[in-house]
Amino acid sequence: MPGSAPPLRRIGLFGGTFDPPHVGHLVTAVNVRHALDLDVVVLMVANVPWQKEGTRQITPAADRLAMVEAAVSDVRGLLPGRQEIDLGGHSFTADTLEVLAVEYPGSELFTIIGDDAAAGLRTWTRWDEVVERSHLVVVDRPGEAVALADDIDWTRVEVPRLEVSSTDLRARFTDGRPLDYLITQPVLDVISRRGLYGASS
Ligand code: ATP
Ligand code: MG
């Protein structure tokens, strides 16, 4: 209808280093999108993941973005997020939510995190702004149940629990174990084209 307000949109923010993106990320994103009836889930690539800095070598942000673009290009409702890279510097979810609120005015924002990340929410810079600006959505990863602060209004979503991590995948590249079915083919193509993780291009 001309002149009518655009429908309120429900936007999921699923942030990570994505070094590399894997099926655990994708299965989580599509299932949370479905469960909460989100219009889109943005897989937001951290520019400088400050909590991981100094712990290991991190693949350049442009390469991680190229992998995420490849991962979601054929998936309805998932978008690659480059806003943290555009902002530059260290990436803080509180800032990212501010950017998304401007890009999607009037929308409801949902911050999606694995329970390992959720357990550390209070170590995040301006975590209270994250709580104010978005609904917090938690998915369980395999392993010991993680205790979450009970004064935060988490929404838990059940997704298939896949014991896949980028850390394990990087080790597989190093020691030559198979990657099949853990990373999708479009991502593997980017990895070999760009010679990432020691892959020969
Ligand atoms: P790394 O091992 O390098 O930490 P990762 O596999 O944990 O990598 P991240 O980029 O750190 O991936 O994670 C981004 C987000 O995805 C986090 O909220 C994390 O909890 C979540 N996540 C990662 N792997 C899974 C998985 N297998 N199932 C559900 N959530 C996951
Ligand atoms: Mg992690």
- Using a cut of 0.75, tell me whether the model's pTM lies above it: yes
Task: Give the Å distance between the CA of 7 and the centre of ligand 1.
Answer: 31
Q: For residue 16, what is the enclosing H or E element?
A: strand 10-16
- Both tokens of residue 75? 């998936």
- What is the second-level CATH architecture of the domain 10-194? 3-Layer(aba) Sandwich (3.40)
| Mean pLDDT per 10-residue section of the chain, whose length is 201 residues | 66 98 98 98 93 87 98 97 96 97 95 94 95 97 89 95 97 95 98 91 57
Indicate the domain borders of the chain. 10-194
What pLDDT, on a 0 to 100 scale, did the predictor assign at position 136?
A: 98
The ligand placed nearest to the CA atom of residue 170 is 1
Q: Give which of 20, 24, 15 is closest to 142, Cα–Cα.
A: 24
What pLDDT, on a 0 to 100 scale, did the predictor assign at position 25?
A: 98
- Determine whether the shortest distance from the Cβ of 137 to ligand 1 is under 6 A: no
C-alpha 67/C-alpha 170 separation (Å) is 14
What pLDDT, on a 0 to 100 scale, did the predictor assign at position 50?
A: 80
What pLDDT, on a 0 to 100 scale, did the predictor assign at position 7?
A: 62
Burial of 146 (0-12, 13-18, 19+ CB in 10 A): middle
In three-state secondary structure terms, 137 is: strand
